[in-house]
A and B are shown apart, each in its own frame.
Chain A
Amino acid sequence: DQQVKQNSPSLSVQEGRISILNCDYTNSMFDYFLWYKKYPAEGPTFLISISSIKDKNEDGRFTVFLNKSAKHLSLHIVPSQPGDSAVYFCAASEGSGTYKYIFGTGTRLKVLA
């Protein structure tokens, strides 16, 4: 059973607009969440993370929001740029010292120039 779900396989957004990528999880023990970006033929690269003690974390154009009651997190990219076109994965773990990171199936973002 998929513990981390990304229900939108793809998303297209105009350059300069906001991109919102969503992720849902089922395991209430998850308390640390991460977003990764992946270009073709490359390994995933870390973007931003959030601990369950927070509900928002910002890093430049990237903001992650966490709604624990809904078991939902989202990644906002503002403004979107063509270089942001990639596959985005969300991941969850049970916090510091935990070995396992469970990933979603990914959302392919295409930013249109």
Chain B
Amino acid sequence: DAGITQSPRHKVTETGTPVTLRCHQTENHRYMYWYRQDPGHGLRLIHYSYGVKDTDKGEVSDGYSVSRSKTEDFLLTLESATSSQTSVYFCAISQPGEPTSGNTIYFGEGSWLTVV
């Protein structure tokens, strides 16, 4: 298994409160991602990082911010949580591969967030 640790694994929070999810990797992979999984939508990319302090938006970035101050850590912050952000959040990592071989992306175990 890829060395990816997500914390917390489960959290219940109130609407309007800030929430930070942490992803820690021990693989020294360059790329890190945050996805959310919702019924009928599959896995949707929130934000990703291609290096320390280098981040960019994904498909569903509104209401989320990220930071990556070290190679091994990627934080996802919900500045003011809303009920629509109740979801399962997955961190993932990948490393540049050889041309034509592509990259394989590896996922963490997930963080279940409920906003009430």
Chain A positions near chain B (C-beta within 8 angstroms): 6, 31-32, 34, 36, 41-46, 49, 51, 53, 89, 91, 93, 95-106
A52 → chain B closest CB, angstroms: 8
Indicate whether B109 reaches chain A with its CB closer than 8 angstroms: yes
With A49-B102, A93-B103 as known contacts, state yes or no: A99 contacts B48, CB within 8 Å: yes
In the complex, which residue of chain A has the Cβ closest to the Cβ of B35?
A: A103
What count of chain B residues pass the 8 Å CB interface test?
A: 33
- Chain B nearest CB, measured from A66 CB (Å): 12
Measured in the bound complex, the distance between the Cα atoms of B106 and A97 in whole Å is: 15
Asked if B100 contacts A51 (CB within 8 A), the reply is: yes
Instruction: Name B residues whose Cβ lies closer than 8 Å to a Cβ of A.
Output: 4, 31, 33, 35, 40-45, 48, 50, 56, 58-59, 90, 92, 94, 96-110
User: A residues within 8 A CB of B94?
Assistant: 101
Least distance between A54 CB and chain B CB atoms (Å):
9
Q: List the A side residues contacting B96 at CB < 8 Å.
A: 96-97
